[in-house]
A and B are shown apart, each in its own frame.
Chain A
Amino acid sequence: MFSMSEKELGKKWDRCLADGAIKLGTGLGLGIVFSVLFFKRHTWPISLGSGAGLGMAYANCQNNLRSHYMLHRGDKVGLSMEKID
């Protein structure tokens, strides 16, 4: 199909949200699991896990959105020397 650059952002947001939801859920779950299993039902592992999950999702989303502007390690940058006459 025809490439539509305007749809990309929407796609990114979709991914962000999906990723956030997954990570939040996973973090929550793991937090609950750890809080139940190892940390005597304190709430802090749950908030930790969800926070961590949220944070990871945030960071992922941001990274995703930034990815165009970021230079990757393997990229080669061309320097053009303009002649100044």
Chain B
Amino acid sequence: MLRACLRGANATARKNYRRIPLTSLQQCRHYTAGESSSASKVVVAGLLTVSGGIGGTVLYAKWDHKFRAAVEKNVPYSDWLLGLALGPAAQDPGLPIKKRVELAQPPSMIEKQAKKSAKKEGAEGPVKDSSPAPSQPAQSLEEASAEATHIISAIGEVPSVPAPCDTEAAAVKECNECHEHKEATAVHPAPTEPMKERPVEEVAARLAQQEQEEQDISASVSASLEDSLASSAKATLQAIGAQEAALQAIMQHTDKLKEAMEAEVLPEEKSNQWKDLEAALADRTTALNDARAALSKANESLDSLRSVIDESKGLKISSVRPLVLAAEENLHNMVVDLDKMVMKVQSAESEAKIVSQYSELVNEAKRQFQREVSSLTPEIQANWKGLTGKLSTDDLNALIAHAHRRIDQLNRELAEQKIREKIHIDAALEQQKLEDQKALDNAVNTALQHVKEDARLDQERKLAELREVMEAEMRTQLRRQAAAHTDHVQDVLKVQEHELKAEAEQVLSSKMLEQETRYRQLTQEQLDNFTLDMNTAYARLKGVEEAIDSHVVAEDEARKAHQLWLSVEALSYSLKTAEADVPTVPLENAAQAVRDSCRDNDFALALASALPEKSLQRGVYSEASLRARFNSLRSLARRVALIDESRNSLYQYFLSYLQAALLFEKSQEAPPSQLSSEDLDPFKLLSYASYCLEHGDLELAAKLVNQLRGEARRVVEDWLIEARLTLETRQVVNLLSAYANAVGLGTTQAP
């Protein structure tokens, strides 16, 4: 904005300037007008220059900040101007904001950790995997590997990094397997940080714990197995026994039935027989029931045993396996025996059924006959054999006819039967075949099952054997590896032992050295301290001696000082012997006395010898005499004030005398502290000097008089010399007296 104004001003100025020459051309003839036009020219030129300078300064300030700062500093109000023109000065750019270092991403391990911790729910127990065992061998191998790694990590310093990796891999695999089951993973060695090596004790503890748990479990499993085995064995035996008993009962019963059917015995015995039969039947039924109950019990126990076996199989502990195997075998055997017995019982039962059918048929026939007989002879009831005497011949004939008829009928039936025999036999054969087939199938099935079971058991046995073999081999390998490891470890330990020994020896030697040096240092210190103490004591003793000596010396000094003082006093007194116009006595004697009294004092000696010769020989004038002399000198000096080496003709003398006659100055004037050039006028100097003399300042008066030049100086030369002499002598004497006083003060001891 200002620049615009400036430019405008410049433009107008230039316009004006352009206008002005036209007018100036017209007016240039006029002297005064020409002058004004030139003046305006000058003004305009000046304005232009100034504005150009300002504009240039502003531009440059805009471009160069340092220049701007310098200008603002040096030229007042320029900062306001520049602020108006350019805006406020740009500040220094602040320190570049440092990029914050981004935190590293959480390592993948932590993520893995999180995953693992998420995976690892529930018991971090022993090597127990509650997942179903799809492939036992693989898992057993994994377990074996895990155990092996445990052993390795337990033994030595081999880092358990591979172990966790293996087990973690296994864990991952198994986790993938059992992911849908959502069960805890298998071996999880590291708690939170994966690659951290577990301490040996922890591993051992864990292994021990695992072993303990295994043992416990196996013990419990074996116990349960044994229990269930025992119970099932008992039950099975019971069942078998019961079956046997049933069998026996059945056989007995059939035998008895057969006997009863076929044997023709006496009626009493027959009734006994029938009773026995009934008893046998009852026995058989009870025995069958018992057998059935026992069988069911045995089946129950067998089932429980099977379930226990399955459970323990599900535990997947190797130590349990032979037990399981044995239990399974037992189970199988029991099942086989039971089945056999059952089959026997069944066959006996079927036999008995046949026999009972036969017996039923026979009974049926008998009954029928009985009925027929009774129908024929209604009076005669059962037990007709006993009625031989009672029967009439009609009855007998009827009976015989009936018997003949019956025989005929029976013969006819027999013939029919004989005809139908084949068919019946075929049918029976067919039926028998069917039944046989069925039985055979059953038998085959059972046999097949048994065989399968046997095979399975064999396989399992073989598997167990193989496993044992593998385990043994694995153990040998591990042992070998362990042996190698122990060898290596031994070697390493040996080497380390050497190293450590060397190190320890070094450390020991260095420590010993240190201790020795410290010991020596301490002894040295003690010695030094002792010597120091001795030295201090000696020094003190010396000091005391010196003090005593110095006392003597001091007293001597005091005496000398006193003498000096006395002599100096004499000298200063002799100074006062000056009278008007007569100098003092020659100071030689007094000076000599002084010199005598300060023979060994260089300062006083120097001072004493600094007395000027003239004073010694002739004496000095007093101040009063000098003053008087000055007064007479003054008029003379006034009179020759104009005479110096350039003006020394008689005419000058005349003029000088005239000046002295005509010039009046103050007789006494206080001299200023600093003489200026106009004070060097002789008259003034003389008045200053007389003032000083009146006030007793001979020194200043002498200094002032020393400023005279020319003839006046020549006139006062002698006075000046005398004054100097007096001053010198007085100064020396003052110094000496001061010195003597000081020495005297110094030597006197304050109370």
What is A's interface to B at a CB cutoff of 8 Å?
2-6, 8-9, 58, 61-62, 65-66, 68-69
**30 A-B contacts, Cβ less than 8 Å apart?**
A2-B718, A2-B722, A3-B718, A4-B718, A5-B714, A5-B715, A5-B717, A5-B718, A6-B632, A6-B633, A6-B636, A6-B715, A6-B718, A6-B719, A8-B714, A8-B715, A9-B636, A9-B640, A9-B711, A9-B715, A58-B650, A61-B650, A62-B648, A62-B649, A62-B650, A65-B643, A65-B653, A66-B648, A68-B714, A69-B648
Q: Are A5 and B648 in contact (CB under 8 A)?
A: no
Instruction: Select from chain B the residue with minimum beta-carbon distance to A68.
Output: B714
A68 to B717, CA, bound (A): 14
Instruction: Indicate whether A5 sits within 8 Å of B645 (C-beta atoms), given known contacts A65-B650, A65-B653.
Output: no
- Scan residues 629-661 of chain B and give those whose CB is less than 8 A from a CB of chain A: 632-633, 636, 640, 643-645, 648-650, 653
A2 to B583, CA, bound (A): 10
Instruction: Indicate whether A5 sits within 8 Å of B719 (C-beta atoms), given known contacts A68-B714, A69-B648.
Output: yes
Tell me, yes or no, whether B716 is within 8 Å of chain A by CB. yes
Give the residues in chain B near A6, CB-CB below 8 Å.
Answer: 632-633, 636, 715-716, 718-719
Instruction: Select from chain A the residue with minimum beta-carbon distance to B720.
Output: A5
Give the residues in chain B near A66, CB-CB below 8 Å.
Answer: 648-649
Most buried by B among A3, A6, A68: A6
A8 to B637, CA, bound (A): 12
Give the residues in chain A near B633, CB-CB below 8 Å.
Answer: 6
A5 to B653, CA, bound (A): 18
Query: What's the nearest-Cβ distance from chain A to residue B298, in Å?
Result: 144
Give the residues in chain A near B645, CB-CB below 8 Å.
Answer: 69
Query: What's the nearest-Cβ distance from chain A to residue B622, in Å?
Result: 14
Describe A's contact surface by its main secondary structure.
helix
Give the residues in chain A near B711, CB-CB below 8 Å.
Answer: 9
Query: What's the nearest-Cβ distance from chain B to residue A69, in Å?
Result: 4
Q: Are B649 and A5 in contact (CB under 8 A)?
A: no
Query: What's the nearest-Cβ distance from chain B to residue A77, in Å?
Result: 14
Q: A-facing mask of B601-640, CB < 8 A → 1, else 0?
A: 0000000000000000000000000000000110010001
A2 to B719, CA, bound (A): 10
16 new A-B contacts at CB < 8 Å, known A5-B719, A58-B650, A65-B653: A5-B714, A5-B715, A5-B716, A5-B717, A5-B718, A6-B632, A6-B633, A6-B715, A6-B718, A6-B719, A9-B640, A9-B715, A61-B650, A65-B648, A66-B649, A69-B645
A4 to B636, CA, bound (A): 13
Query: What's the nearest-Cβ distance from chain A to residue B410, in Å?
Result: 189
Give the residues in chain B near A3, CB-CB below 8 Å.
Answer: 718
Instruction: Select from chain A the residue with minimum beta-carbon distance to B639.
Output: A9
Q: Nearest 3 A-B pairs (CB), nearest first?
A: A5-B718, A69-B645, A5-B717
Give the residues in chain A near B636, CB-CB below 8 Å.
Answer: 6, 9
Give the residues in chain A near B718, CB-CB below 8 Å.
Answer: 2-6
A2 to B716, CA, bound (A): 14
- Scan residues 392-414 of chain B and give those whose CB is less than 8 A from a CB of chain A: none
- Scan residues 663-697 of chain B and give those whose CB is less than 8 A from a CB of chain A: none
A69 to B653, CA, bound (A): 14
Give the residues in chain A near B640, CB-CB below 8 Å.
Answer: 9
Instruction: Select from chain B the residue with minimum beta-carbon distance to A61.
Output: B650
A3 to B714, CA, bound (A): 12
Give the residues in chain B near A4, CB-CB below 8 Å.
Answer: 718
Give the residues in chain B near A5, CB-CB below 8 Å.
Answer: 714-719
Give the residues in chain B near A8, CB-CB below 8 Å.
Answer: 714-715
Instruction: Select from chain B the residue with minimum beta-carbon distance to A58.
Output: B650
Q: A-facing mask of B412-456, CB < 8 A → 1, else 0?
A: 000000000000000000000000000000000000000000000
Most buried by A among B583, B633, B715, B716: B715
Query: What's the nearest-Cβ distance from chain A to residue B72, in Å?
Result: 47
A6 to B635, CA, bound (A): 10
Query: What's the nearest-Cβ distance from chain B to residue A34, in Å?
Result: 27
A65 to B643, CA, bound (A): 10
Query: What's the nearest-Cβ distance from chain A to residue B715, in Å?
Result: 5
Instruction: Select from chain A the residue with minimum beta-carbon distance to B653.
Output: A65
Query: What's the nearest-Cβ distance from chain A to residue B610, in Å?
Result: 23
A58 to B648, CA, bound (A): 13
- Scan residues 710-746 of chain B and give those whose CB is less than 8 A from a CB of chain A: 711, 714-719, 722
Give the residues in chain A near B715, CB-CB below 8 Å.
Answer: 5-6, 8-9
Instruction: Select from chain B the residue with minimum beta-carbon distance to A10.
Output: B636
Give the residues in chain B near A65, CB-CB below 8 Å.
Answer: 643, 648, 650, 653
Instruction: Select from chain B the residue with minimum beta-carbon distance to A59.
Output: B650
Query: What's the nearest-Cβ distance from chain B to residue A67, in Å?
Result: 9
A66 to B648, CA, bound (A): 6
A58 to B715, CA, bound (A): 22
A61 to B652, CA, bound (A): 13
Query: What's the nearest-Cβ distance from chain B to residue A54, in Å?
Result: 12
Query: What's the nearest-Cβ distance from chain B to residue A41, in Å?
Result: 33
Query: What's the nearest-Cβ distance from chain B to residue A10, in Å?
Result: 8
A66 to B717, CA, bound (A): 17
Query: What's the nearest-Cβ distance from chain A to residue B703, in Å?
Result: 18
A8 to B636, CA, bound (A): 11
A69 to B640, CA, bound (A): 14
Query: What's the nearest-Cβ distance from chain A to residue B706, in Å?
Result: 14
A6 to B718, CA, bound (A): 8
Query: What's the nearest-Cβ distance from chain B to residue A36, in Å?
Result: 32
Instruction: Select from chain A the residue with minimum beta-carbon distance to B650.
Output: A62
